Structure 1
Amino acid sequence: MYSKHTEIFGILGFPLGHTLSPWIHNSLFKQSGYDGVYLVFENEHWKQIGLKPLLDLGVKGVSVTIPFKEWAYTQANEVCEASKTMAASNTLLFRNGISAVNTDGTGALESIKQMNSDLVNSGIEKKILVLGSGGSAKGILFAIAKELEGYHKQHSFKRKVHILARNKEAKNEIEQSLGKPFWLEQPSKEEVIQNKEDYDLIIHTTPVGMKGVGGEPILDSHFFTKKHTLFDIVYNPLETDLVKEAKKKKAEIIPGYHMLLYQGIRQFELFTGETLKKKWIQKVESILLKELKNRK
């Protein structure tokens, strides 16, 4: 039931035929009892249309997806540090002016911490390997940087993070945007393979393995062992070929859809100011997983 007091939120992008965000947010509205609704604002001309129609409608906030994240960042008069670093935002808040936030990296970091917080503990002498150098890699590395450096203020710093990608220019750009931290390195593929036992977390951020996307992953299945945790951020299909092969080698797996879930949860908190209960998150996760399985 909706009333004149119901707050309107939504997702802005194109195309949006397969978006799962409404399942997350409307389920959370129901679980929390918050008087809100989450709609789909699908249009390929948002840059020309602008945000005025949404503001006139009284929309309180939107999620932003491809191809409008960079544009969304330019529309705000207040931006978070992650958005500034990435020059892209996946969330716009319409409260007092327009605020831009990026929750992509936060969602990934929370997914990792839910599995094993030691994987982002800078006091442990292990390495994180990030595969890819696109926008997702940049957001995830920004969130990891904040986590590692926050921990470093009180503890010794032993952990390193490595980027392995084919685009050297993009790798250098990420390194520059993070201020060239001493813990971030760009080894060769040969060095990575030779020292694979040094890694405990591998994060695959490229679209290879996604439904309808071909190509070969940067590393093949021979790389993985039972000492590794693989986080492939692709969630459609639920298990990529890379994940299936890593599972055969007894590697731990962080489901790709967890990033979608936790970045959405952070958006919901920003939209509403609500603190979510664990049972609500568990319920939404089960709904999301069921919907993903139905879409096979």
Structure 2
Amino acid sequence: MYSKHTEIFGILGYPLGHTLSPWIHNTLFKLSGYDGVYLVFENENWKQIGLKPLLDLGVKAVSVTIPFKEWAYSQANTVCETSKTMASSNTLLLRNGIEAVNTDGTGAIISIKQQNADLVNPTIEKKILVLGSGGSAKGILFSIGKELETNTSQQSIKRKVQMLARNSGTMSEIEQSLGKPKWLERTTKEEVAKNKDDYDLIIHTTPVGMKGVGGEPILDSHFFTKKHTLFDIVYNPLETDLVKEAKKKKAEIIPGYYMLLYQGIRQFELFTNITAKKKWIKQVESILFNQLKKRK
């Protein structure tokens, strides 16, 4: 039941026909007993419309998705460190002025640590391979960097992170925005194939494999072994061809929808100032999984 006291939240983007965010947030409002509702604000003209209609409506915060993350960042009075580095935000808090936050990378790091915290342990002499150099890669690399550099000096970091991407321009942008850290390197397909045992975590951030998106995967089916963990952030379909190939070789898999789940959990906590309980997260995970299964 909603009343005049019910707080309004939502997602801002275009198109939003298949968004799963309302399932995450409305479930969490119900489980936590928070008097809130999460709506879909779908429009392709947000840049022209601006935030005034939402502020007039009394909206307390919004999730922001493509193609408006860079625009959202530009609308804020206050920005978090991640947003500032990336010049991109997936969350706008509208309670006291406009605050821009980015929870994408946080969602990725939590997903990885839930599987195996050693995969981002700076003292382990292994490599992380990041495939792609778009906005998702940038956010994930920023958060990996924070994880590696927390309580560890740059000189003491044994773990390396390598980027494999086709666009050298966007790789340069990432390197610049992160301050050219010693732990970050570029690599080539040939080097990756030759040194595949050096990697324990592979993160795929390109749209290849997404429903309706064609193209050849950057890695071939012979790459994976049972010593690898693959995190393909594509979640529709539930299993991409890359994930299927990795599973055949007995590699560990971090489901792509985990990133969606945990970035949403972090947003809920920012929206409400309530820490999500583990049993709530389990319920939301189950709902997401079932919704995605229906979309095969």
- Please give the range of the TM-score, normalised by the shorter of the 2 chains: over 0.9
Residue 133 of structure 2 aligns with which residue?
A: 133
The whole-number CA distance in structure 2 between the counterparts of 1:185 and 1:268 is: 34
The whole-number CA distance in structure 2 between the counterparts of 1:154 and 1:84 is: 21
Residue 199 of structure 2 aligns with which residue?
A: 199
Shift in Å at residue 192 of structure 1?
1.2
Residue 100 of structure 1 aligns with which residue?
A: 100
Shift in Å at residue 217 of structure 1?
1.1
The whole-number CA distance in structure 1 between the counterparts of 2:113 and 2:213 is: 29
Amino acid at match of 1:96: N
Shift in Å at residue 221 of structure 1?
1.4
**Unaligned regions of 5+ residues in structure 2, if any?**
none
Q: How does 1:74-223 map to 2 (within 5 A)?
A: 74-153=74-153, 156-223=156-223
Aligned residues: percent identity?
83
Amino acid at match of 1:246: A
> Is residue 154–residue 182 contact of structure 2 (8 Å, CA) maintained in 1?
no
SS at match of 1:152: coil
For residues 79-106 of structure 1, give each alpha carbon's deviation from its aligned partner in whole angstroms, at most 9, with x where no partner exists. Answer: 0111111111000000110000011111
Q: Which stretch of structure 1 is more off in the superposition, 186-195 or 10-19? A: 186-195
> Is residue 202–residue 228 contact of structure 2 (8 Å, CA) maintained in 1?
yes
> Is residue 121–residue 151 contact of structure 1 (8 Å, CA) maintained in 2?
no
Q: How does 1:279-294 map to 2 (within 5 A)?
A: 279-294=279-294
> Is residue 85–residue 178 contact of structure 1 (8 Å, CA) maintained in 2?
yes
Residue 242 of structure 1 aligns with which residue?
A: 242
Residue 263 of structure 1 aligns with which residue?
A: 263
> Is residue 104–residue 263 contact of structure 2 (8 Å, CA) maintained in 1?
yes
The whole-number CA distance in structure 2 between the counterparts of 1:151 and 1:65 is: 32
Matched, 1:31 2:31: yes
Amino acid at match of 1:257: Y
**Unaligned regions of 5+ residues in structure 1, if any?**
none
Amino acid at match of 1:87: A
> Would you say how many aligned residue pairs link Structure 1 and Structure 2?
296
> Is residue 123–residue 155 contact of structure 1 (8 Å, CA) maintained in 2?
no
The whole-number CA distance in structure 2 between the counterparts of 1:152 and 1:76 is: 32
The whole-number CA distance in structure 1 between the counterparts of 2:92 and 2:45 is: 17
> Structure 1 residue runs of 4+, over 2 Å off?
153-156
Shift in Å at residue 151 of structure 1?
3.9
Output the TM-score relative to the length of structure 2.
Answer: 0.99
> Is residue 208–residue 216 contact of structure 1 (8 Å, CA) maintained in 2?
yes
The whole-number CA distance in structure 2 between the counterparts of 1:156 and 1:84 is: 26
The whole-number CA distance in structure 1 between the counterparts of 2:154 and 2:274 is: 30
The whole-number CA distance in structure 1 between the counterparts of 2:220 and 2:192 is: 12
SS at match of 1:47: helix
Shift in Å at residue 155 of structure 1?
10
Shift in Å at residue 154 of structure 1?
11
Shift in Å at residue 156 of structure 1?
3.6
Shift in Å at residue 74 of structure 1?
0.4
Shift in Å at residue 220 of structure 1?
1.3
Shift in Å at residue 284 of structure 1?
0.6
SS at match of 2:61: strand
The whole-number CA distance in structure 1 between the counterparts of 2:92 and 2:42 is: 16
Output the TM-score relative to the length of structure 1.
Answer: 0.99
The whole-number CA distance in structure 1 between the counterparts of 2:155 and 2:115 is: 22
The whole-number CA distance in structure 1 between the counterparts of 2:15 and 2:121 is: 38
The whole-number CA distance in structure 2 between the counterparts of 1:161 and 1:225 is: 19
For residues 26-70 of structure 1, give each alpha carbon's deviation from its aligned partner in whole angstroms, at most 9, with x where no partner exists. Answer: 000011111100000001111111100000000000000011111
> Is residue 122–residue 151 contact of structure 1 (8 Å, CA) maintained in 2?
no
For residues 208-267 of structure 1, give each alpha carbon's deviation from its aligned partner in whole angstroms, at most 9, with x where no partner exists. Answer: 000000000111111100000000000000000000000000000000000000000000
Shift in Å at residue 153 of structure 1?
4.6
The whole-number CA distance in structure 2 between the counterparts of 1:106 and 1:155 is: 24
